[in-house]
Amino acid sequence: MIDYVLSLILFIPLIGAALTLLFAKSRESARVVALTASAISFVLTIMIYLQFESGIAFLQFQFIDKIPWMSSMGISYYLGVDGVSMPLILLNAILCPLTIIYAWGENKLPNQFFALILVLQAGVFGVFMALDFFLFYIFWEITLIPLYFLISIWGGPNKDYAAIKFFIYTHVASLVMVLGIFALYFSTGVNTFEIPVLLQAFSDIASPEMRVGIFLALFFGFLVKMPTVPFHTWLPDAHVEAPTAGSVLLAGVLLKMGGYGLFRVLLPMIDGLGDYRPYIITLMAVLAVVSILYATFAALAQKDLKKMVAYSSVAHMGYVMLGAAAFNYMSVSGAMFQQFSHGLITAVLFMSVGVIQHSVHTRIIPDLGGLADRMPKLAFLMMCGFMASLGLPAMSGFIAEFMVLTGSYLTLPVYALLAMLGIVATAGYHLWALQRAMFGSYNEKLGEPHDLANFELVPMAILVLLIILFGVYPGSVMEMFEYASKIIPGVMI
Amino acid sequence: MTYMELASQFAPELILTIGALAIMMIGLFLATSQKKVLGYLAAIFLAVASLVIVCRGVYVIQMEGILADSLTIDPMSQFFKLTFLVVSLIVVIASIKEYDNHSNQDEYYTLILLGTIGMMVVASAIDIVTMFIGFELASLSTYALAGFNKKDPNSLEAAVKYFIIGALSSTLLLFGLSYIYGMSGGLTNIGELADFFSANPAVLQSPLGIIALMLIVAGFGFKMALVPFHMWAPDTYQGAPTVISALLAAGSKKMAFVAAFRIILIAMIAIKVDIAMVFMILAIITMTLGNVVALSQKSIKRMLAYSSVAQAGYISMVFVVMSPEALTAGILYVMSHAFMKTGAFIAVAALGYMLLKENSNAKDVDHLDNFAGLGKRSPFLAFSIMIFLFALAGIPLTAGFVSKFLLFLSVLEGGFLLLVVFAILNSALSLYYYARVVKYMYVLPPSSDEKLNIPGAYAVAIVLALIGVLAIGIYSEPFIIWAESAANVLGL
């Protein structure tokens, strides 16, 4: 095995970003360098993915890189993976190269564009790998910067507002999270920022109020990122204005950081909450159900196709929260799988919307119509994506949502039933939008659109294949999640 | 202690004194066109003095009682001396280009060196009289420097305001110190004062003691630009030559902090609770007002001035918490802020220089609009400004992040949740105006497509500051340990 393989996976995109920014003068060289860097990361990720072994005890990590950094504060450069993070790292490694291929035709400042995507990839890798809260927070914050620029340089007409809103909103949330990290650090008194140590020391904190306070501060940081209603308002704005590649990564991997925080940090703490545990579970369940229902109905009302997809993201992340709140083995592994699956599905959706915007210059649903006539390839792939998103069996989304709802029914039956109400509306807005935008008679005002270019077709087709593959055979990804959720302390098996 | 030992202990100060005198003398014999060499000379003296401190090692053994108990050499003094020296060095390097044809360069560099000596004396002083003299030396030099662009009314206004307010604050400080002197029965040594007031806490709690404390807090408050004593700072930083604004914000203001660390923390430990309350209110008001007002500024120098006010608010949380951890973080913050602010001001100065060179009638060169499209016109300058601003905002991998992280951590550890919440909200708020400049540089189109070539001297100065900001941000361990040993000196 290669030494420091996680660091390699993490830093190769960064090096690629520097090379792209400094040396790639033409669009051709920029995109080739960027694709190469993220492809190398992808190959390395596959290597460790194949060597990864599930089924080890709680908080045991593999491929550990640990270098002391600020020893006086107990801060180290500490990376490692386990069943919670490994599939998400895989997701990130798959999505970024595909996004780069999708954006192959980018004309505006291509070298900066691709460099920012690579920085974003590295930041997300870092979040999923970091086992030191200080490092975790650094990567968490670093991801804001490339996305801020992606929105504010390549974004739509209202980009300034969206970019700054995104930046400040999520920055405030991270600052609250950092408050929780501080409190965790000094109230455990272990003088280290290592996540495993702090998680184990959490239940030793004497004051139960302190434990709840820490939990809520961290929770706030994660739920804004996911995002959960009522803290979701930055997301539709950011999506509407962001360029397609930015949206794909925002919904595909950045939101997953919030869910990852939930699984990595918060679920292991739930057992240590003592008397407050039922209240916290209720809070999470209520937020989840409100997210699912509110975002689903909001999606139903959208005229802008992209905004509709953005709201569907909020709703789907609500299932992640619901599965986590139900806190049994089935719901939690379903929620983890929902993160993975939603990453793939939402990428197809945003790519489809991007293609429509690009070829007919509008994404307002009533202005579209009959696009399937002129863009059959797009129509096919987009339909696959939409079907996966509404939870059609044999697609990955079905398995995830099925497990979440079945699992939740065991521990939170009322909430599970309420969430199921959303499923009807989910099917409704997907099919309705598809019908109005893609089918029916062709709206001649739209001109003569081109169907998918090859560089758009390939990533979307790969994603659809993966969605079907994981829908039919969830295989090792699901296995890792199952093992990982079984060993969370206090989880109901 | 023999004179030789004394000379070797205070070698950096002596080197600068010799340098200041030499530059003044040599300047008399040089034509204006040749005076540029004086800048190089000043830079060399400052670099040698910094090297002496670095080579001597920063973990020096504490030496007290030098020169009749008036000065000390300890990690804290060395830490701040190095900060002041490096700031002055960066300022001098940038000035080489800024004033390469100015006829008064000899006075200029002499004043900078003298001001630096004053700051260094303050860093070493453990006697209130010596400290005050250091204060005055630094202040008088910088008053003159603030008005150095004597044909520019703004510069003169800045100097006059700075001088009047500076004189007022010195008076308040001296008045307060004289009460302390009287109440303690004639003590001037800070250590002895601390012993005296710990033994007789009632003295400071008497009405006279409270008045004395108020005067001292107000005196330092003016120097540190804490709200409500901050009014001079924006006008002065905006009007003064930009390189001098860097020296004021990063050097002379930080001098007030080291003095306050020593005096307020040690001598006032007797009435910890009352003074903590005062500083808590001051800190919250200062950071909030600084950030809120900075939001609407269109002049970048003025924005940096208000950001400086806000940062002083963060640092003054140290006086509230008064724990060794907080002091460590505060000291580290001072050094980080010195690098970030110097860098930011110097970068703004470089832009101003280039714009004036392009069009000598340009007005308001530090206006936000001039930053539009800077990413295309001068990628290096735009990138450095972005790093400095991100550091000021506390974005990871910069000095600003590490010091903010440690400071907020220590405040929370001290149990001041409300204070941390305010600081954190402020920190988020400040991101808006920093990010706005970044947006102007990278998102908006430039006003002209012509490239701006940054002069070498500015580039060197900016690179020095960049190294400082990134070194503290990434390789933080040695700086933390150093700040820790500096904080231990005060024995909280």
DSSP characters over B61-84: PPEEEHHHHTEEE-HHHHHHHHHH
Say which range, A451-455, B358-362, B396-400, has the weakest mean pLDDT: B358-362
- Whether chain B has a CB inside 8 Å of the CB on A18: the answer is no
State the Cα–Cα distance between residues B73 and B419, nearest whole angstrom: 34
Average pLDDT over residues B150-167: 91
Q: Nearest 5°: CA angle at B19, between B13 and B23?
A: 150
Residue B307 pLDDT exceeds 70 = yes
Q: Would you say how long chain B is, in residues? A: 492
Measured in angstroms, the CA of B424 and the nearest CA of chain A are apart by: 6
Q: What is the 3-state secondary structure (H, E, C) of B300-336?
A: HHHHHHHHHHHHHHHHCHHHHHCCHHHHHHHHHHHHH
Inter-chain Cβ pairs, chain A and chain B, closer than 8 A: 71
State the Cα–Cα distance between residues A134 and B156, nearest whole angstrom: 47
- Asked if the bond preceding B446 is cis, omega within 30° of 0, the reply is no
DSSP reduced 3-state for A130: strand
Give me the residues paired with residue A130 across strands. A79
Cβ neighbours of B409 in A, within 8 Å: 182, 185-186
Q: Sort strands A62-70 and A75-81 into parallel, antiparallel or unpaired.
A: antiparallel
Give me the residues paired with residue A192 across strands. none
Residue A1's pLDDT is 64
Report the chain A residue with the minimal C-alpha distance to residue B483. Answer: A72
Report the chain A residue with the minimal C-alpha distance to residue B437. Answer: A164
Report the chain A residue with the minimal C-alpha distance to residue B373. Answer: A153
State the Cα–Cα distance between residues A423 and A405, nearest whole angstrom: 11
Cβ-nearest to A152 among B402, B405, B443: B443
Q: Nearest 5°: CA angle at A131, between A128 and A135?
A: 85
State the Cα–Cα distance between residues B238 and A379, nearest whole angstrom: 59
Contact A334/A407 with Cβ under 8 angstroms? Answer: yes
Select from B210, B208, B180 the least CA-distant residue to B196: B180
Measured in angstroms, the CA of A70 and the nearest CA of chain B are apart by: 5
Measured in angstroms, the CA of B414 and the nearest CA of chain A are apart by: 10
CB contact under 8 A, A70 and B427: no
Q: How many CB atoms lie within 10 A of CB A304?
A: 17
Q: How far is CA A456 from CA A37, A96, A100, A104, A314, in A?
A: 20, 14, 10, 8, 25
Q: Sort strands B63-65 and A62-70 into parallel, antiparallel or unpaired.
A: unpaired
Helical (H) or strand (E) element with B482:
helix B477-488
CA torsion sign for B396, A124, A147, A311 is negative
Residue B57 pLDDT exceeds 80 = no
Q: How far is CA A323 from CA A92, A128, A144, A284, in A?
A: 22, 20, 27, 10
CB contact under 8 A, B480 and A70: yes
Tokens 């970091």 sit at which residue?
Answer: A130
Those residues with Cβ within 8 angstroms of residue B348's Cβ, 6 or more apart along the chain or in another chain: B242, B300, B301, B304, B366, B385
Report the chain A residue with the minimal C-alpha distance to residue B436. Answer: A164
Q: Summarize pLDDT for A434-447 with one digit per residue, the tens.
A: 998 888 888 888 88
Cβ-nearest to B481 among A72, A145, A152: A72
Instruction: Output the six-digit token pair for A119.
Output: 């920085």
Give me the residues paired with residue B66 across strands. B71
Contact B325/B409 with Cβ under 8 angstroms? Answer: yes
Instruction: Output the six-digit token pair for B294.
Output: 């900075």
Residue A255's pLDDT is 94
DSSP reduced 3-state for A194: strand
Give me the residues paired with residue A304 across strands. A364
Select from A287, A147, A275 the least CA-distant residue to A220: A287
Residues of chain A with pLDDT under 70: 1, 55-56
Report the chain A residue with the minimal C-alpha distance to residue B484. Answer: A72
CB contact under 8 A, A178 and B405: yes
Report the chain A residue with the minimal C-alpha distance to residue B329. Answer: A73
Residue A423's pLDDT is 87
DSSP reduced 3-state for B378: coil
Cβ-nearest to B395 among A141, A172, A178: A141
- Whether chain B has a CB inside 8 Å of the CB on A149: the answer is yes
Task: Provide the phi-psi class of A43: left if phi over 0, else alpha when psi is between -120 and 50, else beta.
Answer: alpha
Chain B residues in contact with chain A using a Cβ-Cβ cutoff of 8 Å = 390, 395-397, 401-402, 405-406, 408-409, 412-413, 420-421, 424-425, 427-428, 431-432, 435-436, 439, 442-443, 476-477, 480-481, 484
Give me the residues paired with residue B127 across strands. B189
State the Cα–Cα distance between residues A116 and A112, nearest whole angstrom: 6
Select from A234, A231, A328, A343 the least CA-distant residue to A287: A231
CA torsion sign for A459, A462, A464, A470 is negative
Residue environment code for B277-300, b if the CB has 16+ CB neighbours within 10 A, otherwise e:
eebbebbbbbbbbbbebbeebebb
Q: How far is CA B171 from CA B116, B177, B222, B252, in A?
A: 22, 10, 11, 17
Contact A45/A124 with Cβ under 8 angstroms? Answer: no
Residue B333's pLDDT is 95
pTM of the model: 0.90
Instruction: Output the six-digit token pair for B392.
Output: 């000021």
Residue B62's pLDDT is 64
Cβ neighbours of A73 in B, within 8 Å: 406, 480
Q: How many CB atoms lie within 10 A of CB A108?
A: 10
Q: Which of B325, B421, B431 to mutate to test the interface with A (most CBs of A within 10 A)?
A: B431
Cβ neighbours of B424 in A, within 8 Å: 175-176, 178-179
Residue B63's pLDDT is 66
Measured in angstroms, the CA of B446 and the nearest CA of chain A are apart by: 14
DSSP letter, residue A77 = E
Q: How far is CA B211 from CA B180, B281, B288, in A?
A: 10, 18, 27
Q: Summarize pLDDT for A449-484 with one digit per residue, the tens.
A: 888 889 999 999 999 999 999 999 988 899 899 888
Give me the residues paired with residue A65 across strands. A79
State the Cα–Cα distance between residues A262 and A404, nearest whole angstrom: 15
Give me the residues paired with residue A70 across strands. A75
Would you tell me which residues 85-144 of chain A have a C-beta closer than 8 angstroms to some C-beta of chain B? 134, 137-138, 141-142
CB contact under 8 A, A72 and B477: yes
Instruction: Output the six-digit token pair for A217.
Output: 């501060």
State the Cα–Cα distance between residues B47 and B113, nearest whole angstrom: 12
Q: Summarize pLDDT for B92-149 with one digit per residue, the tens.
A: 999 998 888 888 899 999 999 999 999 999 999 989 999 999 999 999 999 999 999 8
Q: How confident is the model at residue B217 (pLDDT cuts 50, 70, 90)?
A: confident
Contact B128/B58 with Cβ under 8 angstroms? Answer: no
CB contact under 8 A, A168 and B432: yes
Q: How many CB atoms lie within 10 A of CB B198?
A: 12
Residue B60 pLDDT exceeds 80 = no
Cβ-nearest to A186 among B395, B412, B476: B412
CB contact under 8 A, B477 and A182: no
Measured in angstroms, the CA of A120 and the nearest CA of chain B are apart by: 15
State the Cα–Cα distance between residues A420 and A402, nearest whole angstrom: 10
Select from B406, B392, B400, B423 the least CA-distant residue to B323: B406
Select from B26, B58, B78, B240 the least CA-distant residue to B149: B240
DSSP reduced 3-state for B414: coil
Q: How confident is the model at residue B286 (pLDDT cuts 50, 70, 90)?
A: very high
Cβ neighbours of B478 in A, within 8 Å: none
Q: How confident is the model at residue B234 (pLDDT cuts 50, 70, 90)?
A: very high
State the Cα–Cα distance between residues A309 and A104, nearest whole angstrom: 23
**B153: exposed, middle or buried (C-beta count within 10 Å: 0-12, 13-18, 19+)?**
exposed
Residue A22's pLDDT is 86
Cβ neighbours of B421 in A, within 8 Å: 179
Select from A233, A279, A259, A269 the least CA-distant residue to A400: A259
Residue B276's pLDDT is 80
Count the helix, strand and coil residues of chain A and give each as a percent rounded to the nearest 5.
75, 5, 20
CB contact under 8 A, B409 and A134: no
Q: Nearest 5°: CA angle at A256, between A251 and A261?
A: 150
Contact B135/B197 with Cβ under 8 angstroms? Answer: no
ipTM: 0.85
CB contact under 8 A, B428 and A178: no
Q: Nearest 5°: CA angle at B27, between B22 and B30?
A: 135
Cβ neighbours of B442 in A, within 8 Å: 149, 152-153
Helices (H), B225-267: 232-239, 242-247, 253-262
Residue B272 pLDDT exceeds 80 = no
Count the helix, strand and coil residues of chain B and give each as a percent rounded to the nearest 5.
80, 0, 20
State the Cα–Cα distance between residues A41 and A5, nearest whole angstrom: 10
Q: Would you say how long chain A is, in residues? A: 493
Residue B271's pLDDT is 63
Torsion of CA B399, B403, B404, B406, to 10 degrees: 140
Measured in angstroms, the CA of B487 and the nearest CA of chain A are apart by: 14
Phi, then psi, of B127 in degrees rounded to 5? -130, 135
Give me the residues paired with residue A62 across strands. A81
Cβ neighbours of A149 in B, within 8 Å: 442-443
- Whether chain B has a CB inside 8 Å of the CB on A182: the answer is yes
